[in-house]
Structure 1
Amino acid sequence: MHRLLACLLIALLPGFVVAADENVLRIYNWNDYIAPEVLTNFENETGIKIVYDTFSTDEELSKAFDDNAPYDIMVPSHDSLPRLIKEGKLTSLDKAKLPNAVNLDSQVLSKLSAFDPQNIHAMPYLWGAVGLAINTPKAESAFGGPLPESWSVVFDPEQSAKLASCGISILDASAEVFDGLMNYKGRSISHTPPRRIKSAAKTLFAIRPNIRQIDSEEYIEALNTGDLCVAVAWTGDALVAADEGQPVVFVVPEEGAPMFIDTLVIPTNAARPDLAYRFINYLLKPEVAAQITTETLYPNANAAADQFLSAELRNMPGIKLDKQMRRRLTMMPTLQDDTQEAIDAVWAEFIEAPTPEAL
């Protein structure tokens, strides 16, 4: 780990230039979003060294793109693709260098093509949803009975107040949280003007005293150890907590929730696009995709990977979504600039608002 960090820091030094014959591949991915042995196996099989760095928020990734950070592969979510394509940040992929793309799920590719026409710039990696991770016995004990399958357990001040004592966490993911909030209010975030965003923010500030943390990384351990009873969470993080032995279930709220597809892209400033193609093609192997899903508990976009998953994993709720869950999910939209700016302004205030411990 120290060696990888040192390599990254050296790469960021002014005047640093990668030698043309240096087989070093630099990757920027979400935290806890790959099987470590996949990196090791690729290095052993190819002799290519990997510098692997992670982020936990869309803002971190966006800044890396804006700063032309020295990565050969990055992992943006689908709703970021239109902006990145418009700004010329992404390489047009040479499909001849990605023969394993034949394994990809046609339905996932179709959904992705609405954001990347003809799937020219991005390959789907993992996908999932934002919903509620509920530690059932802890939550029901605090709530006084079964919880509704609704965003109300977080966004209704009276309901969330009942759960504050056992711990509520919200992702540090402003657009996704607002998507859930607007669904709760019976609206679509893609058709919500900035003034309504500011009005809806009153709900966020009303529940802020009931929220223990706003976080997209440390909350995972809190779920795994039973220190939270309700979290607005990514699919896989909820399933990992259950896999760790916690009585945690993943719920897609009845009002609707955002679905995401995370993608593999090659930035236009990549120093080694040749190595990037080799790694992306490696990840598109069915057995490798299955290995990553087994480790992360996020569904992959590889239609041929199911045969390499255990029967238990193939049928796990959240990995295999039932019809009711699918009906409740919609693709996270790309937001208009003025809507995103309004969300960002509200979110900055929300994060800085007093925590329960400070009250």
Structure 2
Amino acid sequence: MRSWLLPLSFAIALPLHAEDKVVNLYSWADYVTPQTLQRFEQQTGYKVRYDTFDTPEVLETKLLTAASGYDVVVPSASLLTRLLKAGALQATGQQGMPGYAELDPDLLDKLAAVDPGNLHAVPYTWGTLGLGLNVEAVQKRLPGVALDSLDLLFKPEYASQLADCGISLIDSPQEVIGLALHYLGKDPYSHDKADLDAAAALLHKLQPSVAYVANGRQISDLANGATCLALTYNGDAATAADQARKAGKPYQVAYRIPREGTLIWQDNLAIPKDAPHPQAAKAFIAFMLRPESVADLTNSLFFANANPQATPLVDEAVRNDPDIYPGAEVRARLYADQSMSLEAMRQRTRLWTTFRSRQ
């Protein structure tokens, strides 16, 4: 795979005389490993300026309200729909990039439903929303109860038993309310008032047992034992498990995909319409298509990546973990990330604000 990089760099250098040798990247924290960034800079001559956001809403606001100044961004599939509708992205030219043909066809198909023809985004990582657990703490309070069930959260008689050791939720109204609807057997993207009222009632019963709602805290709190059940992303829970293990903690932190099914999310690489260095952006995306580039990420953050050719480069314990790389039977129970109208999002934000105000 390395043989294409030199001709690629030479090819893009010709039209780049008017561009700075810079790539302005806007992404989640640590979403490209330091060694990958170093290889990219050494082999292409570009310098990466890496800024981070902590919620999708921050990224969306940046791209829709003003000139962002960024060359590469990392939107989810649901955000991608709104960005495309607003004309905020440009074509990546990805079909001509080495490595594009090796991308997971299932992820490309899912992305095509949002981005017809797969013109504006490249699949990068994917994962699930599920249960991060302190196994011993949960089993002590709920012996014999399945650790891979959303009952732990949504049955008040279970959640109340875990309140003393700490329950936390991610601060994401679209995702948490969608999961509550799914648990109730309803469309996760329903905007029917009766459905949303049912989800609100379910969350109201959970609320007294929730210690906090926040992004970013779950990793350290699971690792150090400050919380015993977290509704969070698989990679964050796996990172917490790794930290607890390395620290020699006397308990096991684990992640479980809910048996009832859950959200499968997908993050993508894209180029803003007004990117100041579009050719540099394409060079960066092409580099991130390389198996070793995304394998580094999976080994570091425990999120599955979109390139099956990278799987042999992923640590054996990670690639064989069914809660990181679920099999076909489990994937069939997962629902895809979808965009919603602004009015539907406002409905959920109001519901979520009411839920948060009772903490």
Shorter-chain TM-score bucket reads 0.7 to 0.9
Mapped partners of 1:44, 1:32: distance in 2: 19
Query: How many Å separate the matches in 2 of 1:160 and 1:310?
Result: 35
Alignment of 1:79 with 2:84, yes or no, is: no
1:328 counterpart SS class: coil
Relative distance call for 1:96 and 1:329 in structure 2 (3 A) is: closer
Letter of the aligned partner of 1:263 in structure 2? N
Structure 2 residue runs without a partner (length 5+): 1-16, 246-250
**Kept after mapping to 2: 8 A contact 1:55/1:61:** yes
Verify: 1:248 aligned to 2:246, yes or no: no
Describe how 1:81-100 pairs up with structure 2 within 5 A: 81-95=80-94, 98-100=97-99
Q: Give the drift of 1:148.
A: 5.1
Instruction: Determine the C-alpha separation between the residues in 1 that align with 2:345 and 2:332.
Output: 26
In the aligned structure 2, how far is the partner of 1:221 from the partner of 1:260? Answer: 22
- What's 2:319 paired with? 314
**Quick check: 337-346 or 298-307, which moved more?**
337-346
Question: Mapping of 1:34-49 within 5 angstroms?
Answer: 34-49=32-47
Offset of 1:160 from its aligned partner?
Answer: 1.0
What's the counterpart of residue 12 of structure 2?
A: none
Question: Aligned partners of 2:86 and 2:303: how far apart in 1?
Answer: 29
- Could you tell me whether the CA contact under 8 Å between 2:94 and 2:122 is conserved in 1? no
Residue in 1 that maps onto 2:183: 184
1:357 corresponds in structure 2 to none
Q: Which amino acid aligns with 1:220?
A: I
Q: Percent sequence identity over matched residues?
A: 33
User: 1 CA distance for matches of 2:224 and 2:190?
Assistant: 39
* Root-mean-square deviation (Å): 1.9
What's the counterpart of residue 153 of structure 1? 152
Letter in 1 for 2:124: Y
Per the alignment, in what secondary structure is the counterpart of residue 166 of structure 1?
coil
**2 CA distance for matches of 1:248 and 1:236?**
12
State the partner residue of 1:345: 350
Once the two structures are superposed, the pairs formed by residues 148-227 of structure 1 within 5 Å of their partners are 149-227=148-226
1:16 corresponds in structure 2 to none
Give 1:24's aligned residue. Answer: 22
SS in 2 for 1:53: strand
- What is residue 67 of structure 1 aligned with on the other side? 65
Cα–Cα, structure 1 residues 30 and 46, in superposed 2: closer, same or farther, change >3 Å?
same
Superposition deviation, residue 77 in structure 1: 0.6
Q: Aligned to 2:309, which of 301, 304, 308? A: 304
Q: How many residues align?
A: 336
CA distance in 1, matches of 2:231, 2:52: 21
SS for the counterpart of 1:189 is: coil
1:145 CA drift (Å) = 4.0
- Cα distance in structure 2, aligned partners of 1:231 and 1:170: 6
Aligned residue for 1:40, secondary structure, equals: helix
DSSP 3-state at the match of 2:99:
helix
**Residues 96 and 300 (structure 1), Cα distance of their counterparts in 2 relative to 1, 3 Å cut:** closer
Match of 1:231 in 2: 230
Other-structure match for 1:132: 131
Within 2, Cα distance between the matches of 1:151 and 1:319? Answer: 18
- 1:189 deviates by 2.0
**More divergent stretch after superposition (239-248 vs 294-303):** 239-248
The 8 Å contact of residues 168 and 230 in structure 2, kept in 1 or not, is answered as yes
Quick check: 1:329 aligned with 2:334? yes
> Quick one: which amino acid aligns to residue 225 of structure 2?
G
3-state SS, counterpart of residue 319 of structure 1: coil
